[in-house]
Amino acid sequence: MARSNLSQTLALPLPVDTHVHLSLGGDPQANARLQLAAGVAVVRDAGSRDGLLDGVVLPPALTVVKTGPAIFKKGFYGSFLGDNRALSLAEKIAQTPSSFVKLILTGMVSFDVYGEVGPQQWSFAELCEIVGLAEACGKKVMVHVNSDKACREAVTAGAHSLEHGYFISSETLLMMAEKGVYWTPTVAAMANQTRDPDKRFSAVQLQIIERNYKRHLEMIRFAHEHGVKLTIGTDSGSYNVPHGSSFLREMELFVEAGIPVAEVWRIATANGYELLGLPGELRLNLDPGLPLNTLLEQAKLVFCKQLSI
């Protein structure tokens, strides 16, 4: 069911981006500063190759939850942000630096054939094993996944959150609502490609890209209407997904999907803190009748004032 209308004034934590890559798209320290400049208070870094961020000193004002190197299967998609060390699966999971394990389950979405994604890396039995190993270490599994089959297997295996989730079905989303599985759709990472600033794509590819993200918006709306726990994650650092500014872009796309501004702000703040298990001590009072860019500016001002930065 759709949520009821919210009160005129909300008090919420400051914004949190639940899916970024600080090690991609430039210098990690500069990327972190771009997040702060956009009014984002917390980010979850969703994978860096072989622990690239381990020795990087990031701005203390930005809370960074690190998943460390992503878990992927050798020979499949993911080496550029994955764990390439000669360790066992159990060792890789145990050594992740936070309570989250980033698992890569499928490849990328094709821009040449609508509905096609890269191959699935892990079987359902392996998925269950990975979730079990993570649980034994007190960790939760966030899954990079596309295709409805792979999404459904991840949910059934006990994933804590699905990342991306292109071509997910309404039936799988209902399963997620029932089980309390979070979804971070990262729709800006697809929608931004329609702008094609470097002229990378053919006219046919651009049509497929637009079809991909428009369907994704439909599923985001369905997810919200049926109680799936959504979060704002941008996939910042990926091609044509800049750090900082993509946060507003992702929120605007949620509004385009039909979600009221006040609800988008709840998703961008309270839902993110809930997913990450953070208290959200810094709080923002806002009027949900204001436009998103004004609200984000208010968040930035409150953030800087409360942290004296």
What is the rounded CA–CA span in Å between residue 89 and residue 129? Answer: 10
Residues in the chain, overall count: 309
pTM equals: 0.92
Confidence band, pLDDT 50/70/90 cuts, at residue 147: very high
Q: Which residue has the tokens 């600080």?
A: 22
Phi, psi of 225, deg, nearest 5: -65, -25
What is the rounded CA–CA span in Å between residue 118 and residue 128? Answer: 21
CATH class belonging to 10-307: alpha beta
Residue of 287, 288, 279 whose CA lies nearest to 16: 279
Domain boundaries, the chain: 10-307
Confidence band, pLDDT 50/70/90 cuts, at residue 52: confident
- More confident site: 293 or 267: 267
- More confident site: 300 or 161: 161
Longest dimension (CA), the chain: 55
Question: Is residue 77 within 8 Å of residue 121, measured between CB atoms?
Answer: yes
- Tens of pLDDT, residue by residue over 152-198, are 999 999 999 999 999 999 999 999 999 999 999 999 999 999 999 99
Q: Say yes or no to pLDDT of 224 above 80.
A: yes
Structure tokens at 178: 């029932």
Residue 32 DSSP code: H
- Tens of pLDDT, residue by residue over 267-286, are 999 999 999 999 876 677 77
Residue of 62, 56, 70 whose CA lies nearest to 23: 56
What is the rounded CA–CA span in Å between residue 188 and residue 201? Answer: 17
* 208 three-state secondary structure: helix
pLDDT for residue 58: 94
